[in-house]
Amino acid sequence: MRGPHNIIRLIRTGATLERTGAMNVVLDAFEAPAALRFVAHALGKPFQWLGYKGDPAMPPATRALTALGPAYIKFGQILSTRPDVVGDELAVQLRVLQDKLPPFSRQEAMEEVERELGLPVPELFEEFSEPIAAASIAQVHKARVAGGGKEVAVKVLRPGIERAFQKDIDAFYLAARIVELFAPGARRLRPMEVIEHFHGVVRGELDLRLESSAASEFAANTQKDEGFQLPAIMWSLSARRVMTLGWADGVSLGDNDALDAAGHDRRILSERVLTLFLQHALRDGYFHADMHQGNLKVAPNGDIVAYDFGIMGHIDQYTRRVYAEILFGFIRRDYKRVAEVHFEAGYVPADRDVDEFARALRAVGEPIFGMDASHISMGRLLTYLFEVTERFGMETRTELILLQRTMVVVEGVARSLNPHMNIWESARPVVESYITESIGPRAVLSDVADTAKVLARFGPRLPALVEKMLIAQATEEPPKPPKSQLLWTALAGSGAGAGIVLLIGALF
């Protein structure tokens, strides 16, 4: 880390936040204590003249982050997926953060392509357009593959973007340490965790091979989904700083007039976008976590086309089952079962009262289900649910927060297409189908089979393990424990316990 550079960058950041009026907005969102507020204002107010002015037409937070540049824009976008950290109000502001920057030149893009792919652009593409979209990390060109090939989209990283991001990330880590120093007990700050999460996401987006891989995995999972398609990745024309995929023709899912003019049924599209998301999240545990209208088109045949795979969500099989049971419990208004699921999953500490928790969940669900069907919001329900679970001591789970945030976005997209949509009736078949397949007798047999497969892998080693155990029992001194001596002594208090410990020691 470069100390002087970091300090100067933080001063300019504070100055920009002060000049744009965003400082108090950010501090309030993070529930910053008095000591941290004092330090933040000390870094900003005396140097306001160093701050960037930004666009006065934007809300303060988005105005400041946009003025500060690409790393801050991307940081704001990622924070918009963490309402548990910044609060719902600021998350909504950041969600509409404009990720549009001046493009770099076509010539620079072609030079990047040639460096990455090792051939002159004319040998790769017979056409290569001016930039058609420019964002904080990369920009996109429309091209045609050489030899009369098909039209493609070529995504190219900004020149020098890795170094620029690393400088700002260094400053972010310094800021996080300052926050930890002056706000050690702040309830929702968790600064190092936030910066580490941001750093991990950015590392993935700065290597387009990883985004290509995400798109390829997503395509493999969804290839049989009716009414859904993804542009194909062209691996031979992709590398670390260049990503080439098929061109997606169609109408933006956010342009209702164009959708109507093209003859698409918005009612069908609204249900499809919701059910597709739930299928991907529950069935695959791998979902597009940035499903706003800007990343979705409707093909001429009516299929929904998704693109931009920089932010993908993943939830494991167990969490999927828990999430499905929670949703299904609310659909049936079985609040006691929803409460029991939280306790069974360990989300809520075991010393809390399950009946009291069930009553709190009823207070969440009943007002929502008392609304007209077209106003019942799954996103609102999940938001309220997390507020209640926090009061009962539930630890924040990042994967569920991302799932909840994506659910809110998808629900908004669906309602923009059909304001009278009944979200719950559309979700019910997908959730019920998953419950039937994953939590019934067939699921138990599948789990037993999976467990047997894992145990079978140790089959060839069993004779050696038994021999080692018998030799150890025949000697006066037990073998040296793999962990602490205290753990060894505690577990080896009986013959059976010794056998288990020996087996574990042999395995590891």
The residues that are catalytic are 290
Which residue type sits at 456? Answer: A
Asked if 173 and 196 touch (Cβ cutoff 8 Å), the reply is no
What 3-state DSSP class applies to 154? strand
Beta bridge mates, 475: none
Number of H helices, E strands in the chain: 24, 10
Residue 68 CA to residue 70 CA, distance in Å, equals: 7
From the list 499, 497, 323, the residue with the least C-alpha distance to 400 is 323
Instruction: Compute CA 29 distance to the chain's CA centroid, rounded to the nearest angstrom.
Output: 20
What separation, in Å, do the N-terminal and C-terminal C-alpha atoms of the chain show? 38
Asked if 64 and 20 touch (Cβ cutoff 8 Å), the reply is yes
From the list 417, 411, 422, the residue with the least C-alpha distance to 259 is 417
Beta bridge mates, 133: 140
From the list 421, 441, 337, the residue with the least C-alpha distance to 373 is 421
- Give CA separation, 92 vs 77, 97, 195, 317, in Å: 10, 9, 20, 29
Tokens of 480: 């040296």
Residue 260 CA to residue 266 CA, distance in Å, equals: 8
From the list 214, 179, 206, 211, the residue with the least C-alpha distance to 194 is 179
